[in-house]
Chain A
Amino acid sequence: MRKLKKIVVVGVIALVVGLSVAFTSTPSYFEITKNLDIFTTLYKELNTYYVDTLNPEKLMQSGIRNMLESLDPYTDFIPEEDMDDYRMQTTGKYGGIGAIIGTRGEWVMVTEPYEGFPADKSGLRAGDKIIEVDGKTAKNYKTDQVSAMLKGKPGTEVIVKLKRLQADGSEAEMMVKMIRQEIKVKNVPYFGMASDKIGYIRLSGFTERAGAEVKNALQVLEARGKLDGVILDLRGNPGGLLNEAVNVANVFVDRNKEIVSTKGKMDEWNKSFPTLNDPVDLKIPVVVLADGGSASAAEIVAGALQDLDRAVIIGQKTFGKGLVQSTRSLPFNAKLKVTTAKYYIPSGRCIQAINYAERNEDGSVKRVPDSLKVAFKTKYSGRTVYDGGGIDPDIAREPEKFSNIAFSLLTKNHIFDYATEYRAKHDKIGSAKAFQLGEDGYADFVTWVSKKEYDYSTRSEKVFEQLKAAAEKENYYEAIKDDLEKLNKTMMHDKAHDLEKEKVQIKSLLEEEIVSRYYLNTGRVETSFRSDNELKAALDVIKDETQMKDILAKR
């Protein structure tokens, strides 16, 4: 509701400004009217005369999409029918049962119930096949169709028929009755201790209340005992509401500090966003984990904490999105999300990496080149930081990559299916932090997966096939045949060999998935701690007080 009000207020301001634009700069007003006139005649002619019957709405939308794509990827048109999804994205709220689902063959499956929501409370498990919803079959339905059947007004009843895998390999049918609830996807899906005295808070989005959730997490952790430090994990966080970024930073930064300011085409739209509340802890050492998936609001938090010399950033360079969007209302309940400003963090830098206004000759976008990046100084220590390309971590770590075989096992769902079978065969496991698959456990998986269909080809193998085809066509094949065969044998991957070579990675993927079947997301996060090298680096820095101080010290 608060959000809605704000849109209206912005709308009024904008309208006033808009009118003055219209009247002061006549040429552009004429240009707009002229182009609209051309468009209107073209659109009508097209719908009337085109050889096939056209869908006017689809036609219009493809034009709008193409037009907005020419600006930047964030300026977007939201037709009325997509408004529910859009609202869910900005508020994190919807009415439903609280489970992630996904298509697997002819059925849609539960892939992860949210902790504490109806699906979880009614005992739904990852791997359950959804057979019917309220008596209607869900066979061959797509994920979004089943999702629409499950969603509804909070308080209403939904009956789901499931099929669940049993220990003996058979499937049992069950009917589950649930009362839909307002599902609020948490911004902080997990917080806890990463070591004895170091807290950990994962922030995965910036919908309403993100600031309050981080605040609460830190307060709860501090209430349990004295902390030596806290890790704020922003990896993969795509951002969201700008004012929530301010609220998150506010947890660690004093009241009345500017976190971010926005600047647009006109001075009237420039705005400063200072912290408004009392902080939770100004002194506790903070490490922020960031990666290439940390964008927008996540970069405001990471960047502001860096510019204010309040936290050490570990991981990889962030995405580099320094553009702000406003939502504007259109006729027939449609909306326009339009980039209206750039934002600047406390040192004065804008971290936008791609300059959409200037394109290469082929229309592709330009990254801001290093030579044009400008140096800025952090607020207190005067450390040098740069604009034009995301937040650079203070301690850079190579991103962890999936091996070809691990990627194939994940995407072909063998990791997922093995966990489903494991859950069917084992009623309980030890604590999440203690669970280990062990050598025997891994050997069992290797036997199990050897009967499964999965393949992956390396890029070398693909290019090899192309070389072979070209040589055949150009009549070189006979001459190089023996060499090619030898070469192929050397390169050929061997599944058994790769399962052994990539054991550490595959094992931790299996452990995370299996633990999530017993302890949901909490278990998944806690299990992932063990193989998380960036987290380890964060713990090391916090434990090493001098290093922490050194990094943030005055230059």
Chain B
Amino acid sequence: MKKRLIKVVAVMVIAFGTMSFADGYFEISKNIDVFSALYKEVNTYYVDEAEPSKLMRSCIDGMLKTLDPFTNYFSGAQVENAKIQQGGKFGGVGIEIEVLNGYPVITSVTQGQPADKSGLQVGDIIKTIDGANAKDKKKDEVEKVLVGQPNSPVVLSIERKISLVDSKILPFSIQREEIQETSVPFYGMITPEIGCIKLKIFNEGAGKDVKQAFDSLKRINPDIKGLVLDLRGNPGGLLNEAVNIVNVFIEKNKLVVTTRGKVDEWNNTFNTLNEPTDTKIPVVMLTNSGSASASEIVSGTMQDYDRGVVIGQRTYGKGLVQVTKPLSYQTMLKVTTAKYYIPTGRCIQALNYAEKNPDGSVKRIPDSLKVAFKTIKSKRTVYDGGGVDPDVKLPKPEHSKIAETLFSKNYIFDFASNFKLAHPTIDDAAKFKLSESDFNDFVAYVKTKDCTYKTVSEEKLDDLKEATTEEKYFDAVKEQYESIRKKLVHDKEQDIIKNKTEIVTILENEIAGRYYYAYGKVKKSYQNDPEVAKAIELINNPQQYEDLLIAKK
């Protein structure tokens, strides 16, 4: 412990020079002195029994809250959990669950993993785990007991529907295996000549996974014309994996990202290290506001080198790098130590946590302070200070209120379960279509269900009634209120029919997933995806694609 401190001190002396170092050090020890005294006094004298760990936690949280949301403290117990998650390796059975009607229900089964091999299915209700009743358990409690040492067994008792009215209880004994979360849940040809890779997360090996996926796509069709790289909703992960992925498309020894912190000595440069797979093939990246961090390094670097076209929505804007530092008693600090800069020299961080608004809220970097940069090859203008701007902007997909309701009330999920019972097999995921009579079945099925929802307009009208009643205007406006109320009433059957295309798409995706796992679900969803359609259109029109990569006069 002591040794490390001395080392830190030595670095600081070099960095700041003796004077400022001495000042800073005095400030720090002075504050620690004041705090130690205060902490002991509070624990001793406070009127109620104080809990030292809880108090300390709120102190640390209070400090970190003033910095940025990525600087976090982990208690001993949290570190244990994080250890399991961070490596991406732990013993599990390979399912995802949600709690529905008091019991955990399997919502996803990973192909080839223990649960799948034992025959567990989406829709199965977990009644007991190792003999313990699973009723009213929270999602994370269930997840916790499902993981364990690889090769250890877990016994589940499952309730499975065998017809629309009957179900039976089945016992399963499943051997846990080491589970590595897959970074590429889907790759495949979405047209005969266009491949697609969906990248979910940047965990260890993500670069290798993308490279392998691309290689096999090239084997399927050596004349492949273009590649779609789907980074939507990808929250990022390991920085060097971002470098590896860029490296698939960009030659060796090119700068990808630079990190810069408070002290020059800690700055770091990351270059591509390997031979690329293909530096010519057209690449279209799909991004949205959920594409963060490493996703932004990939899309931003490809944009900066004019190596691909970015379409969709502006990315999240996280340009900060964290390092984890072990503290005493097995606790840990994840701390933002640097900002990263992509090849043009821009930093895409959108929020300036160092300067806050007077009300304490965080400031977005205003457009007027954004700096223009020129891309490496084509000298196109790109900006810092707010994520990666797509070259082709598409509107954010939004769901209708009725679709949201059907989804959140699990009617889509339950209908898919029933569908699977009635149809043991379906066509290939991409070819599967919900028939007209199936859709009518769905409408009939929902008719019997509670499907009430309030539009925002209805909610606001309720608020207005409350406010006018309180302020004694209600009697005066009652007539108009009633009239508006009547006009806002909606009819769920009408709503479903009005939004038929959208609802059919959601149903088809869910059903495809029941037969062909996550892979089938993604594959099916790409068929009705306007962003994927745009990507295909671009690759099929080389001129249009090239134009986007040329500076506009």
Contact of B14 with A by CB under 8 A: no
Contact of B132 with A by CB under 8 A: no
28 contacts between A and B (CB under 8 A): A31-B53, A32-B52, A35-B39, A38-B331, A39-B35, A42-B331, A44-B5, A48-B12, A50-B67, A50-B71, A50-B262, A52-B354, A56-B28, A60-B34, A60-B35, A66-B59, A68-B42, A75-B42, A264-B45, A330-B41, A331-B33, A331-B34, A357-B48, A458-B473, A459-B467, A470-B456, A471-B457, A490-B473
**A332 to B1, Cβ gap below 8 A?**
no
CA distance A53 to B21 in the complex (A): 13
CA distance A554 to B510 in the complex (A): 75
- Mask, A451-495, CB within 8 Å of B = 1, is 000000011101110110011011010011001101100110000
Residues of A within 8 A of B34 (CB): 60, 330-332, 334
Minimum CB–CB distance from A463 to chain B (whole Å) comes to 5
**B335 to A49, Cβ gap below 8 A?**
yes
CA distance A57 to B467 in the complex (A): 45
Contact of A273 with B by CB under 8 A: no
Contact of B323 with A by CB under 8 A: yes
CA distance A479 to B59 in the complex (A): 54
Contact of A18 with B by CB under 8 A: yes
**B41 to A63, Cβ gap below 8 A?**
no
Residues of B within 8 A of A326 (CB): 45
With A265-B47, A474-B455, A483-B480 as contacts: A43 and B325 at CB distance below 8 Å: no
- 8 Å CB interface, B122-159 against A: none
Contact of B320 with A by CB under 8 A: yes
**B455 to A458, Cβ gap below 8 A?**
no
With A43-B32, A460-B471, A463-B460 as contacts: A14 and B45 at CB distance below 8 Å: yes
Residues of B within 8 A of A21 (CB): 44
- Mask, B445-471, CB within 8 Å of A = 1, is 000000000011101110110011011
- Mask, B500-522, CB within 8 Å of A = 1, is 00000000000000000000000
Contact of B327 with A by CB under 8 A: yes
Residues of B within 8 A of A28 (CB): 43, 52
Question: Quick check: which of B104-112, B304-312, B482-490 contacts chain A, the rest being far away?
Answer: B482-490
**B37 to A62, Cβ gap below 8 A?**
no
Residues of A within 8 A of B38 (CB): 64, 77, 330, 334, 336
**A56 to B468, Cβ gap below 8 A?**
no
With A56-B24, A71-B42, A340-B47 as contacts: A463 and B59 at CB distance below 8 Å: no
Contact of A46 with B by CB under 8 A: yes
Residues of A within 8 A of B45 (CB): 14, 18, 264-265, 326, 328, 338, 340
Minimum CB–CB distance from A390 to chain B (whole Å) comes to 19
**B463 to A338, Cβ gap below 8 A?**
no
Contact of B431 with A by CB under 8 A: no
Contact of A339 with B by CB under 8 A: yes
A residues near B (Cβ < 8 Å) are: 14, 17-18, 21-22, 28, 31-32, 34-54, 56-60, 62-71, 75, 77, 264-265, 323-324, 326, 328, 330-332, 334, 336, 338-342, 356-357, 458-460, 462-464, 466-467, 470-471, 473-474, 476, 479-480, 483-484, 486-487, 490-491
- 8 Å CB interface, B353-405 against A: 354, 401
Residues of B within 8 A of A39 (CB): 32, 35, 39, 56, 59-60
Minimum CB–CB distance from B267 to chain A (whole Å) comes to 11
B residues near A (Cβ < 8 Å) are: 1, 5, 8, 12, 24, 27-28, 30-50, 52-56, 58-63, 65-67, 71, 73, 261-262, 320-321, 323, 325, 327-329, 331, 333, 335-339, 354, 401, 455-457, 459-461, 463-464, 467-468, 470-471, 473, 476-477, 480-481, 483-484, 487-488
Using CB atoms, name the residue of chain A closest to B466.
A463
Secondary structure at the A interface, as helix, strand, loop or mixed, is helix
Excluding A35-B52, A36-B40, 6 further A-B contacts by CB distance (< 8 Å) are A40-B32, A43-B28, A43-B31, A57-B31, A70-B54, A490-B477
Minimum CB–CB distance from B253 to chain A (whole Å) comes to 28
Using CB atoms, name the residue of chain B closest to A47.
B28
With A330-B37, A331-B37 as contacts: A53 and B327 at CB distance below 8 Å: no
**B40 to A32, Cβ gap below 8 A?**
yes
**A467 to B460, Cβ gap below 8 A?**
yes
**A70 to B456, Cβ gap below 8 A?**
no
With A32-B40, A328-B45 as contacts: A63 and B24 at CB distance below 8 Å: no
CA distance A69 to B73 in the complex (A): 19
CA distance A330 to B33 in the complex (A): 9
Residues of B within 8 A of A332 (CB): 30, 33-34
CA distance A502 to B244 in the complex (A): 72
With A45-B335, A60-B34 as contacts: A491 and B58 at CB distance below 8 Å: no
Please provide the 7 A-B residue pairs with the shortest distance between their CB atoms, ordered closest to farther: A66-B62, A63-B63, A67-B59, A467-B460, A487-B480, A470-B456, A63-B59
Minimum CB–CB distance from B468 to chain A (whole Å) comes to 5
With A56-B24, A63-B60 as contacts: A491 and B473 at CB distance below 8 Å: yes
**A491 to B476, Cβ gap below 8 A?**
yes
With A40-B32, A483-B483 as contacts: A336 and B323 at CB distance below 8 Å: no
Between A35, A68, A459, A484, the greatest number of chain B beta carbons within 10 A of the residue's beta carbon is seen for A35
CA distance A14 to B44 in the complex (A): 9
Minimum CB–CB distance from B494 to chain A (whole Å) comes to 13
Using CB atoms, name the residue of chain A closest to B63.
A63
Using CB atoms, name the residue of chain B closest to A358.
B48
**A459 to B31, Cβ gap below 8 A?**
no
Between A17, A467, A473, the greatest number of chain B beta carbons within 10 A of the residue's beta carbon is seen for A467
**B31 to A51, Cβ gap below 8 A?**
no
**A45 to B59, Cβ gap below 8 A?**
no
The one of A36, A53, A323, A487 in contact with B477, judged by C-beta atoms closer than 8 angstroms, is A487
**B46 to A339, Cβ gap below 8 A?**
yes
Residues of B within 8 A of A62 (CB): 62-63, 65-66
CA distance A51 to B261 in the complex (A): 5
**A323 to B47, Cβ gap below 8 A?**
yes
The one of B339, B456, B467 in contact with A473, judged by C-beta atoms closer than 8 angstroms, is B456
CA distance A60 to B36 in the complex (A): 11
Residues of A within 8 A of B487 (CB): 476, 479-480, 483
**A44 to B28, Cβ gap below 8 A?**
yes
Residues of A within 8 A of B27 (CB): 56-57
CA distance A409 to B237 in the complex (A): 55
Minimum CB–CB distance from B317 to chain A (whole Å) comes to 16
**A46 to B52, Cβ gap below 8 A?**
no
CA distance A103 to B28 in the complex (A): 36
Residues of A within 8 A of B65 (CB): 62, 66
Minimum CB–CB distance from B171 to chain A (whole Å) comes to 36
The one of B8, B41, B58, B323 in contact with A338, judged by C-beta atoms closer than 8 angstroms, is B41
CA distance A384 to B518 in the complex (A): 68
Between A17, A54, A462, the greatest number of chain B beta carbons within 10 A of the residue's beta carbon is seen for A54
Residues of B within 8 A of A466 (CB): 460, 463
Residues of B within 8 A of A36 (CB): 36, 39-40
Minimum CB–CB distance from B81 to chain A (whole Å) comes to 18
With A331-B37, A470-B455 as contacts: A51 and B339 at CB distance below 8 Å: yes
Minimum CB–CB distance from B287 to chain A (whole Å) comes to 25
CA distance A15 to B507 in the complex (A): 70
Residues of A within 8 A of B49 (CB): 265
Residues of A within 8 A of B337 (CB): 49-51
CA distance A330 to B488 in the complex (A): 63
With A43-B32, A57-B31 as contacts: A486 and B480 at CB distance below 8 Å: yes
Residues of A within 8 A of B468 (CB): 460, 491
Using CB atoms, name the residue of chain A closest to B473.
A491
Using CB atoms, name the residue of chain B closest to A17.
B44
The one of B40, B50, B262, B480 in contact with A52, judged by C-beta atoms closer than 8 angstroms, is B262
CA distance A462 to B473 in the complex (A): 14
CA distance A44 to B1 in the complex (A): 12
Minimum CB–CB distance from B480 to chain A (whole Å) comes to 4
**B338 to A51, Cβ gap below 8 A?**
yes
Residues of A within 8 A of B336 (CB): 50-51
Using CB atoms, name the residue of chain A closest to B51.
A31
CA distance A230 to B547 in the complex (A): 89
Residues of A within 8 A of B329 (CB): 34, 37-38
